[in-house]
A and B are shown apart, each in its own frame.
Chain A
Amino acid sequence: MIEVTDITKTYGNGDTTFQALKGVSFTIEDGEFVAIMGPSGSGKSTMMHILGCLDIPTTGTYFLDGKDVSTMDDEQLADIRKDKVGFVFQAFNLLPRTTVLRNVVLPLVYAGVGIDEREKRAKHALVSAGLTESHFLHKSNELSGGQIQRVAIARALVNEPTLILADEPTGNLDTKTGEVVLGTFQKLNEEHGRTIVLITHEPDVAEHAKRIITLRDGTIVSDTTSHTRRRAHHI
C-alpha cells in the first residue's frame, strides 16, 4: 500500500530553484495497476524516483507498507529498494555478457538469499514473465528487445516486491513488442495480484492500466479509473 501525502520536490538552491512537484497526494492499494502519465517536465520522473525510493521528497510524507520512507538515508533506502520495489527501466535493463538467470538472481544475491532458493525463485519469476527454460542460460545480449524487457520484469518480480515500478518500459520497443510487454504486466496484475505503477508519456500505453494519474507542471490534473481499458493480447 502506497500513501503519498502533499509531496513537494525542489531542485537547486538559492535563486535558481525549480519545483518539480508541487504538493502531490494519492493512495495506491495493493493489487492496483496504475499509470502515471504526463508530458516531459510534468514531474513524473521525479515522482518515479520518489516512489522507487531512489530519492526522497523535500516536504510531505510517503508511507510504503506503513513505513515512512520520506526521511530515510541512502543505506535505508537501498534496503527498502531491495525488499519492496522492483524496477523495469526503459533501457539498459540487464547486465551485459551475463546469463538471463544470473541477471534475475542478482536482487536475491544482494538480499542474501541462499543459492538453491534463489535459483528456484528466479526460474519461477522467469516463467511468470513468459520466458521458457531454453532462455535461462542465454547471455543477455543474445536476446531480442521484448525478451530483454521480460527478463527485466522477471528480475523486478523475483524479490516479491510490494510495488513493481516500470519507467517507460515500452519506450525502446516497437508497438507489437510493446503490446506483449504490457500484456505481461496485465497478466501479472490480474493473475498474480501484483501492484504495478507504470510511468509513461504515451496515452496509448497508459490506457492499459486500470487507473491513470495525470501530472502536469508538478500537480495532479486528473485521477481516473477506467472501465474500458485497453487489452493487450495475452502471451
Chain B
Amino acid sequence: MTLNDTLQETFTALSANKVRSGLTVLGIVIGIGSVIAMVSVGQGAASGIQSSIQSLGSNLLQVTPGAARTAGGFGVSGGRGTSSTLKQDDANAIASQVQYVAGVASEVSSRQQITAKGTNTNTSVIGVTSAYPEIRNVSIDQGSFISDDQNNSLAKVAVLGPTAAGDLFGTDDTTADGLPNGIVGQTIRIKGMEFKVIGITAAKGSSGFSNQDDTVYIPAKSAQRFLTGNDSVSSIDIQASSADTMATVQDDVTNLLLALHGISDPTKADFSVLNQNDLLSAVSNVSQTLTILLASIAGISLIVGGIGIMNMMLTTVTERTREIGLRKAIGAKKADISRQFLIEATVLTLIGGTLGVVLGGGVALAINALGLITTSISVSSVVLAFGVSAAIGILFGWYPARRAASLNPIEALRYE
C-alpha cells in the first residue's frame, strides 16, 4: 500500500466524522498555540530587558560611591549625592593602572531645574568627559559632543538628550527623525547660568526606571565647579576590553580603589563596583524561569490535546472494528492497518500543529500590536512545537493503531 493510498484512506476516514476530528484537532491547536504564544511572551520580555541593559554600554562596569543599597536598577541607585568618596584621581588611576580597560569615563550627576525661552524642566544633568559616548553607547544626532578642551576650560556648553530637548524647545519644528529642529546654537539656563547647546544625542529609549533620553550633558569639570561645588564624581564608568575580562577588571578595580582609599577590610569599602554581566545573568535567569513556567503550563495543555487524540483514535478503532476485519479479509496486513491508524493520528496532530503555529503566532503578534508586551516568536519554539505535535501523534496514535492491527479478522467481522 503506497503512502498516497494511505493518505487517501486517512482523508476519507477523518472527513467521515468532521466534528469529532475538528474537536480533536482543536485540542492540539490550543496546546501548540499556547506553547508558541507563551514562549514568545517570555522570550520577548527577556530580550527586551536584555537589549535595554545592553543599551547602557557594552562590557560595562560602574563604580559608585557608598555600598550598593538595593539590588536592581543599575543606573538608579548609583549613590547619587549621598557620598563623595570617588574623585577624578580614582578614574585616572583606573585608566592608567588596571589592565584590560578599554575606556574610563567619570560622571558628575545632579538634578537641576533648567529653563529655556520661558519653558522649564527638571532633569538630570550629567557632567561627562569626551570618553562618555563611546563607553555608554551614546551617539550624536545633531552638532557635536563635549570635547576635552571644553572640559578642561570649564566651558559652559551642553548636549541635550532628545526628550529634554523636546521639553525645553517644543516639538513643533522637527527633523526627519522626529527631533526638534534648530536647537543647536541656542542657550539654556542651569542654576541661572547660560549654557550653549552644542549637540543633541540620538534617542536610546528608557532602561529600567530611568529615561536615558531625558538628560542634559555638560563638561564634567564645569559640573563640579558650577553645580556640585566639590571635586567628587558620582560614578566612574569603566569599559572592559571584552566580556571575558570583566571579572578580572572588576577585581583589579576593587583592589586598586581599596588601596587608594586606604581600606584594608573589603567589607567596609566606601564604593561598589557593579558588573553589567551580573545584572544581565540575573535578569536572564529570571526571564528563563518565566519562560519555562509559561511553556510548562502550555505543555500540559499539549499533553491533554494528545490524550484527546488517543481517546478519539481508540473510539475510532472500536467503531471501525468490522471495517478493520473486512480490510484484513481482503488482504490488508497488520502493518497496513497500523500504518493507516498511525497516519490518521499523525495527520490530525500535524493539522493541529500547523493551525496552532498560526494561532500562537497570531496571538503573539496581536499582543505585540496591542503594545502589552514585546513578543518575539523564535524559530526554535515553532520547530519544537511542531516536532512535539508530530511526536504526540505518533506516541498517542501508536497504542490505538496497535490495537487495530492486532484484531483477529474473524472476531472483528463478527463484532456488533
Chain A positions within 8 Å of B, measured between CB atoms, are: 49, 52, 54-55, 74-75, 78-79, 81-83, 86-87, 89, 92-93, 95-98, 102, 106-107, 109-112, 155, 159
The residue of chain B having its C-beta at the shortest distance from the C-beta of A83 within the complex is B331
Q: What are 8 A-B pairs at a CB distance below 8 A?
A: A78-B331, A78-B332, A78-B334, A81-B329, A81-B330, A109-B5, A110-B332, A159-B331
Assess the B410–A106 pair: CB atoms within 8 A.
no
The interface stretch among B63-71, B319-327, B386-394 is B319-327
**CB of B389 to closest CB in A, whole Å:** 27
The residue of chain A having its C-beta at the shortest distance from the C-beta of B12 within the complex is A98
Q: How far, in whole Å, are A82 and B330 apart by their CA atoms in the complex?
A: 6
**CB of B315 to closest CB in A, whole Å:** 16
Assess the A97–B1 pair: CB atoms within 8 A.
no
Assess the B331–A111 pair: CB atoms within 8 A.
yes
**CB of B402 to closest CB in A, whole Å:** 14
Q: Is B221 an interface residue (CB 8 A)?
A: no
Q: Is B19 an interface residue (CB 8 A)?
A: no
Q: How far, in whole Å, are A79 and B328 apart by their CA atoms in the complex?
A: 10
**CB of B323 to closest CB in A, whole Å:** 6
List, in ascending order, chain B residues with CB within 8 A of A52's CB.
Answer: 329
Q: Which of A55, A102, A106 contacts B330 (CB 8 A)?
A: A106
Q: Is B16 an interface residue (CB 8 A)?
A: yes
Assess the B326–A110 pair: CB atoms within 8 A.
no
Assess the A106–B2 pair: CB atoms within 8 A.
no
B window 3-21: CB within 8 A of A: 5, 12, 16
Known: A55-B410, A81-B329, A93-B326. A110 touches B334 (CB 8 A): no
The residue of chain B having its C-beta at the shortest distance from the C-beta of A74 within the complex is B334
List, in ascending order, chain B residues with CB within 8 A of A159's CB.
Answer: 331
Assess the B410–A54 pair: CB atoms within 8 A.
yes
The residue of chain B having its C-beta at the shortest distance from the C-beta of A95 within the complex is B323
Q: How far, in whole Å, are A87 and B410 apart by their CA atoms in the complex?
A: 12
B window 314-349: CB within 8 A of A: 322-323, 326-334, 336
Assess the A97–B12 pair: CB atoms within 8 A.
yes
Q: How far, in whole Å, are A95 and B319 apart by their CA atoms in the complex?
A: 13
The residue of chain B having its C-beta at the shortest distance from the C-beta of A158 within the complex is B330
Assess the B413–A89 pair: CB atoms within 8 A.
yes
Q: Is B409 an interface residue (CB 8 A)?
A: yes
Assess the A107–B331 pair: CB atoms within 8 A.
yes
Known: A74-B334, A112-B1. A106 touches B327 (CB 8 A): yes
Assess the A110–B1 pair: CB atoms within 8 A.
yes
Q: Which of B16, B327, B336 contacts A96 (CB 8 A)?
A: B16
Assess the A110–B410 pair: CB atoms within 8 A.
no
Q: How far, in whole Å, are A110 and B324 apart by their CA atoms in the complex?
A: 13
Known: A95-B326, A98-B12. A82 touches B331 (CB 8 A): yes
Q: Which of A75, A98, A109 contacts B334 (CB 8 A)?
A: A75
Known: A92-B326, A93-B326, A106-B327. A78 touches B333 (CB 8 A): yes
Assess the A54–B331 pair: CB atoms within 8 A.
no
Q: How far, in whole Å, are A5 and B197 apart by their CA atoms in the complex?
A: 114
Going nearest first, the 3 A-B pairs with the smallest beta carbon separation are: A82-B331, A110-B331, A107-B330
